[in-house]
Each structure stands twice: as structure tokens, then as C-alpha cells.
Amino acid sequence: MIRAATVADIHLIVEMIRALAAYEKLTDRVVLDEERLQEHLFGAHPFAEVLLAEEDGEIVGFALFFHNYSTFLGRPGIYLEDLFVRPEYRRRGHGRALLTAVARLAVERGCGRLEWSVLNWNQPAIEFYRSVGAIPLEEWTTFRLTGEALCTLGVASYQDRSRR
């Protein structure tokens, strides 16, 4: 069963994020604050949404996603930030059910696309995504600004504007 997460699920969501990070060998990068995550998911201005997969009353997977916008299509889209099913519950249809639920929301909301990233080494996920008709965008390179680089650029841009 797939259902929308509620504020009561915040501890489970954090647990699933940590499990995903462990699977991706990225636990050292998880610095999230549970209270801030709760505000970002369930506060006055939510930044993202979460769907949960349940089996026999236990949370076995999750999908965290948010809206983006395509200027070329002139339509909103959905970016799937995280899709994770606990290893012991894989190959039971939970991943497909979560992805299908997000795709259904994208269609219902008039979105023009659903996108996500996958680590190059994650061959099982790549094969799964290809099996549902997804194609890799090999002509695109993802760039990211974080930490000091983000602050430096953001502060410099802000200071430049305030001097004008």
C-alpha cells in the first residue's frame, strides 16, 4: 500500500533517509536536522512531499519529491529526490508502486515530466528504471553548489545587488 506521509511519520522518514544513505555509501553526508526536515515537509510552506510504501503495517520504502518547472515545455514537472525500498523488501513491487504513484501525481497535476538522478554504480536501480521506460539523459551533466561555494556565490551576489 502507498500512502502520503504525515507529520507523525517524521521519525520513520529520517530512518529511511539514513537507510538510503547507508545503501549509497554516503552516511557521512547526512547532516539533516529532524525538526528542520519536519518544517520543510509539513510546515506552512512545504518544499517537498513524501509517499510511503507499507507492507503488513510496516514502512518498507519511501519516495521524496518536489515540483520543478520546464521553461521549454511551459509546464511544471516533478523531481524525484529519493526512492528507496529496504533491501529485505525489494523485488515485491514496492519500488514500482512508489514510482507509479509519483508518476500518477505528475499526470494528475499536469506535469510535463518526471525526472531523477541515479548513482552510476547502482546497476540494479538503472535496470529497474529502464524497465519502466525511463531513459538516461547522457547529454546532460549535473552541477551542484554546496557549502562554502554556495555561500560565497550567494553572499557575493547579494552584496553586489545591495551596492547598486
Q: Where are the domains of the chain?
A: 2-163
Residues 8-65 have pLDDT tens digits of 999 999 999 999 999 999 999 999 999 999 999 999 999 999 999 999 999 999 999 9
Residues 87-127 have pLDDT tens digits of 999 999 999 999 999 999 999 999 999 999 999 999 999 99
User: CATH number for the 2-163 domain, one of 3.40.50.170, 3.30.450.40, 3.20.20.70, 3.40.630.30?
Assistant: 3.40.630.30
Position 159: which residue type?
Answer: Q
**pLDDT tier at 156, thresholds 50, 70, 90:** low
- pLDDT over threshold 90, residue 82: yes
**Whole-structure pTM value:** 0.89
How far, CA to CA in Å, does 1 sit from each of 66, 77, 109, 149?
A: 21, 24, 21, 42
- CA-to-CA distance for 74 and 88, rounded, in angstroms? 41
Residue 97: which of 135, 47, 60 has the closest Cα? Answer: 60
- 129 assigned to active site: yes
Residues in the chain: 164
Active-site residue, from 79, 89, 129, 158: 129
